[in-house]
């Protein structure tokens, strides 16, 4: 554990050094091809750095933050686009936080719209305790799952799979919330990383407005908007640009998940997770088309029905395709072993 922590510290010292170079030197190049070329060494280093980590948790989080989020944000930065080009990040520390952490700032209220002080205080007085209560509840649920793992040999296989799926969601949400803490301490207002995805009423609602919103916000300017722009310039029709943009976004998301799976398993990709996102991309595109064509004639399904269908579809396809490589490589067993090892490590320190 100690050696892995040292490797983690070394990796992030190098990452912070690279981002300092981006802020202090690469930003001086004119936007476009020259700045993009100046960022190539950083792209390369961010791709190889997670290979120095063997822990599932350390490697998974680091590869997501550096290989996906940071590289995509820097790609936008090369053309003076995206979150790193904002005037808000005129300090090096702010630039590093936004570049490598899952942080998305709330936009300022439009000019002319004034929120009364007592309204702001009332909203905060309700929102802060509620969010804290939800996080504490989710933490307790996650700890309960860890406790249940000790008896997994007595549980049915599907019960263990269900526990692991809940474990992935809860741990991911708590890690992202924890990583955004530095920005909150500095007084920045942040948008949530998740928006209660179990309340989704459609696939479009699930992926676009509820699940891992940081990824959604970074894929839109890097994939969805450019594909739409190219399609419209080539005059491929009225609805095709949006539908092709949706499918292309899901394909890129699938490929990036394959990359992260490689860091976790160190085995060649099986492409099942890519097909998971291709399937969902096609289904979302069909859903968007049906909404525009049939919603006025047939109306919407009741929320309870549509919500249940969405969750069943996501869970079924997830077990079929998304988690297939994880289970094949016994990754869930490694994760559970790491959890127990980490808990024992914490207990040893406390005692």
Of residues 183 and 202, the one with the higher pLDDT is 202
Which of 38, 20, 25, 124 is CA-nearest to residue 78?
A: 38
pLDDT of residue 156: 81
HSE (CB half, 13 Å, CA atoms) of 218? Answer: 30
List phi, psi (to 5°) of 289: -65, -45
pLDDT in tens, 27-62: 999 999 999 999 999 999 999 999 999 999 899 999
- Supply 254's token pair: 């699938």
Q: Say how far apart CA 242 and CA 82 lie, in whole Å.
A: 20
Q: Where are the domains of the chain?
A: 1-100, 129-182, 191-350
Going by pLDDT thresholds of 50, 70 and 90, the confidence category of residue 114 is very low
- Supply 249's token pair: 């976004």
Q: Say how far apart CA 176 and CA 50 lie, in whole Å.
A: 18
Asked if the model's pLDDT at residue 75 lies above 70, the reply is yes
| CA-CA-CA-CA torsion sign (191, 192, 196, 202) | positive
Q: Say how far apart CA 285 and CA 308 lie, in whole Å.
A: 20
Asked if the model's pLDDT at residue 122 lies above 70, the reply is no
Helices (H), 271-330: 272-298, 303-317, 324-328
Q: Say how far apart CA 196 and CA 96 lie, in whole Å.
A: 28
**Beta-bridge partners for 190:** 105
Contact yes or no for 99/70 (Cβ under 8 A): yes
Q: What is the mean pLDDT of residues 305-323?
A: 91
Is 98 in a helix, a strand, or coil? helix
Asked if the model's pLDDT at residue 296 lies above 70, the reply is no
The predicted model scores a pTM of 0.85
Q: Say how far apart CA 224 and CA 76 lie, in whole Å.
A: 13
Is residue 298 classed exposed, middle or buried when 0-12, 13-18 and 19+ CB atoms within 10 A define those classes? Answer: exposed
- Supply 263's token pair: 């860091």
Give the best-scoring range by mean pLDDT among 160-169, 172-181, 259-268: 259-268
């Amino acid at each position: 554990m100690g050696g892995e922590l040292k490797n983690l510290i070394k990796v992030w010292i190098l990452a912070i050094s690279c981002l300092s170079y981006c802020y202090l030197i690469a930003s001086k190049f004119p936007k476009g091809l020259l700045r993009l070329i100046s960022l190539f060494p950083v792209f390369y280093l961010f791709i190889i750095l997670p290979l120095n980590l063997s822990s599932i948790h350390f490697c998974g989080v680091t590869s997501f933050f550096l290989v996906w989020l940071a590289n995509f944000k820097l790609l936008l930065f090369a053309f003076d686009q995206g979150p790193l080009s904002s005037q808000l990040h005129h300090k090096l520390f702010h630039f590093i936080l936004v570049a490598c952490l899952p942080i998305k700032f709330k936009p300022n209220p439009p000019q002319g719209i004034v929120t009364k002080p007592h309204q702001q205080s009332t909203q905060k007085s309700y929102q802060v305790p509620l969010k804290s209560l939800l996080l504490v509840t989710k933490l307790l649920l996650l700890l309960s799952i860890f406790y249940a793992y000790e008896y997994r040999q007595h549980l049915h296989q599907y019960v263990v799979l269900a526990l692991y799926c809940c474990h992935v969601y809860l741990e991911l949400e708590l890690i992202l919330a924890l990583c955004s803490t530095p920005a909150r301490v500095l007084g920045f207002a942040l948008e949530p990383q998740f928006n209660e995805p179990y309340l989704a009423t459609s696939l479009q609602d699930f992926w676009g407005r509820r699940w891992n919103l940081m990824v959604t916000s970074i894929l839109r300017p890097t994939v969805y908007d450019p594909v739409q722009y190219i399609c419209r310039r080539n005059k491929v029709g009225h609805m095709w640009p949006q539908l092709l943009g949706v499918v292309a976004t899901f394909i890129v998301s699938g490929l990036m998940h394959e990359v992260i799976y490689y860091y976790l398993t160190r085995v060649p990709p099986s492409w099942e997770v890519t097909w998971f996102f291709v399937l969902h991309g096609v289904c979302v595109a069909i859903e968007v088309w049906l909404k525009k064509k049939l919603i006025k004639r047939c109306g919407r399904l009741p929320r309870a029905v549509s919500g249940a269908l969405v969750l069943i579809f996501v869970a079924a396809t997830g077990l079929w395709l998304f988690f297939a490589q994880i289970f094949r490589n016994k990754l869930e067993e490694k994760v559970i072993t790491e959890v127990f090892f980490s808990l024992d490590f914490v207990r040893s320190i406390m005692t």
